[in-house]
Structure 1
């Protein structure tokens, strides 16, 4: 690799890091607002929010990486062209193909980073995230310790707690249980405690009253009690931790399931094949968008005003490729034998880049076209 190739590659990597940080920051702020509200309102601490945010970062990075790669290729090529560095290299005999070596190396480096994220880190982080979400959903204590709010830990149950002391004592407690529609009941007490007994969580209420409505007999009975125990363990959401989503399944298991479709019985063969090859297609798309961003700008000649028409055309190609990627997934799910379609957007992008570099490498053809157009103008 020549000195110019190393210089060009450094420019691409620095800009790639910058655009990745900016895009991840923007998307992270957008998503973290709703996540923060959901986690904190569920009675969880800020540490749980930070843990959930960290576990979603691999998915977020995978989403923004192709955009960062494309932006770095376009920005670096445009800057080198505007500062006449590419013009000088072309004047010394270097062809656009020769100058594309740094872009190819950059695309391969981005693809390797994407391979680590898409194939290994993202499935592992999603698996851990789903496990922690199941644990948090089953943490009834955290769901109940919200002062001054009517909470619904499960369908048909309403809980209200007026005040929570530092020692865990609950005051002004009200519980409405309408899960049995024929005999709804409600309990209220001045003081209550959460007690863990034998793996079951009980709400022990002191000095209260219990009201029970018998709809069949149309009667309401009331009972004063000094203490009463109410089992709240059943309020925990029954989340099947063992049944992971397809996105959280390790790649090695997907490879085995590709050979044996019954290995993941709750997913179809098409879903398994689509998810597996989708992870690898993210690697190739990074190489394609890097070449598209570079080759489209090489079609333009030197201009102090930049290469805005070429930038716009490159962005249009990027949008079309991303749109096409979204249309092939349902086709592969319906017919797993067509899994090669998932790599078609990358192949189209690389093919377009080759055509652009062929045209850029033969400027005489473009000049002849302009001369012919001028000669035919009356």
Structure 2
């Protein structure tokens, strides 16, 4: 039996790797298109895109891990049943509960992987991603070096470059500053240069014109200049979010009562939001044990059929959808009532109880119980 456990466990781990690769790839492609357009279109390099992609991988893996464990358990059980391997083991006297031991081991391995992801890797990656996004948003130079399109580096500011020469000269520059509605200003220049002065970034325009509109007096003043310096470093001011993203706060801080008070006071998060984030991370660990057991136990309810175990597969998938829906309903409850944090664990516990019940029925089918009752009568 130990060799059988190792054989099944190896199959489950291989299938888990396959399903993770497929599901993460699908999600990554769907999300990377918009991210690529946003970063590359904003003047960032491909290395920045790869860095942002790598930092988003822990979140993607965490999202698909329960589905991957479920898919691996269902596929492996169906294949063992189709190849009559499960039938042979049952004929030797092994119960469905005993044959489910490698599935339990598999769930524990997946739970350990999820524990590392949800308690450490994902918060650390989100925290790093927030810092890099703030740095990119402050990189006004990279945002402006994009010819042939209207850009908005800050609210109320529109910038356009007709052409960029190989030496960095900007041609046909247009800059509209509407941050002060009472006095909007428009600048045009035949050429311009970006000049850095320590922490400041200046746009030096040559042979241009400035148009200033006075909304109160309804007048327009025009100024022609040979060269003009405009400080654009102020466009990046105040763009960084001072509040910490609760998803990126380390787990140890969420556990510590003193740190929770500080998080609540400095970032404005409620006790319900903090409790929901902490216990959701822990609930993700338990769900990785419940989903493969539910998939295995549901398929063990089926007997021999030339059509296979597809009714049981569909039933297992329906149970998975119900468990996911229950998890979605639990989140707002905990956010509103932090003392009911235990609700987040109920879908996982319900899945474990359901798996135990199905294995009990699979080991002692109802028709045998009814036959025994008839004989006793």
TM-score, scaled to structure 2:
0.95
Secondary structure at the residue paired with 1:212? Answer: strand
Q: How does 1:31-70 map to 2 (within 5 A)?
A: 31-70=31-70
Aligned to 2:105: 105
Distance 1:332 1:22 in 2: 33
Distance 1:297 1:216 in 2: 76
Q: How does 1:208-287 map to 2 (within 5 A)?
A: 208-236=208-236, 238-240=238-240, 242-257=242-257, 260-265=260-265, 266-287=268-289
Secondary structure at the residue paired with 1:4? Answer: helix
Kindly state the Cα deviation for residue 36 of structure 1 after the two structures are TM-superposed. 0.9
Residue by residue over 1:98-117, the C-alpha shift from the partner in whole angstroms, topping out at 9 and shown as x without a partner, is: 10110000000000000010
Residue by residue over 1:71-112, the C-alpha shift from the partner in whole angstroms, topping out at 9 and shown as x without a partner, is: 000000011011111111011010111101100000000000
Instruction: Check whether the contact 1:257–1:263 (CA below 8 A) recurs between aligned residues.
Output: no
Instruction: Check whether the contact 1:112–1:283 (CA below 8 A) recurs between aligned residues.
Output: yes
Does the C-alpha gap of structure 1 residues 258 and 303 become closer, same or farther in structure 2, counting only changes over 3 Å? farther
Q: Let me know the Cα RMSD of the aligned residues.
A: 1.8
- Residue segments in structure 1 that go unaligned for 5+ positions in a row: 374-378
Does the C-alpha gap of structure 1 residues 240 and 143 become closer, same or farther in structure 2, counting only changes over 3 Å? closer
Does the C-alpha gap of structure 1 residues 257 and 267 become closer, same or farther in structure 2, counting only changes over 3 Å? farther
Instruction: Check whether the contact 1:73–1:294 (CA below 8 A) recurs between aligned residues.
Output: yes
Kindly state the Cα deviation for residue 132 of structure 1 after the two structures are TM-superposed. 0.3
Aligned to 1:366: 367
Distance 1:173 1:262 in 2: 47
Kindly state the Cα deviation for residue 369 of structure 1 after the two structures are TM-superposed. 4.8
Kindly state the Cα deviation for residue 220 of structure 1 after the two structures are TM-superposed. 2.2
Distance 1:130 1:66 in 2: 26
Instruction: Check whether the contact 2:263–2:269 (CA below 8 A) recurs between aligned residues.
Output: no
Aligned to 1:321: 323
Distance 2:85 2:306 in 1: 13
Aligned to 1:91: 91
Distance 1:250 1:186 in 2: 46
Distance 1:370 1:272 in 2: 54
